[in-house]
Chain A
């Protein structure tokens, strides 16, 4: 069955360091992959999208990589700040134009001042 895995353990890092979050998937051929941020008590907020034929995407301090051979995406936040503390969700959308994301459980990031 299709599976999307994100580290269930919280990632704790010091302010100013680069945070790297991982999203692995199995039995899936995504057309594209999304990353969202979710704060407690709020809905997810879309951050970045990367397509199957793209290796890397950047937006300000964010960088996403996508390796369809390894079936893995890495999400990096450079020069992290305490305000970056949140849960980060990856989501995959399959081919065929369904536009329905399937979400991982998310990884909590805690940036310490």
Chain B
């Protein structure tokens, strides 16, 4: 079956603009994660959705970052008033009944000029 997909694959934006990144998890997966990976850095946890529970937003770096998950499936990560330090690869992952295994998408490479 299809894996996790993310769009766009690449995004170049100007400082101060808002961007939306999309994640389509594997069908039927109830858990969805957003991470970001800066050059040479590890994956930094951003936010976690599990079913209908309130999301764990503990990793969001500032109030410019927000995410939603509509209908328990597709998720959108929004970054408002982008800054150059937001440049990174944004990775989405999902997991199903075996919650201990995460399946990652290819990522969205964001460059803020």
Contact = CB atoms under 8 A, between A and B. Distances in A.
Nearest to A4: B42
A46 B103 contact: yes
Interface residues of B, number: 24
Interface residues of A, number: 22
Nearest to B4: A43
Contact of A32 (B33, B91, B100, B102): B100
Contacts of B101: 46, 49
Interface residue SS majority, chain B: strand
B42 A99 contact: no
A98 to B, nearest CB: 8
B43 A103 contact: yes
B42 A43 contact: no
A52 B97 CA distance: 21
Contact of B56 (A49, A100, A101, A104): A100
Interface of B: 4, 31, 33, 35, 40-43, 45, 48, 50, 56, 91, 93, 95, 99-107
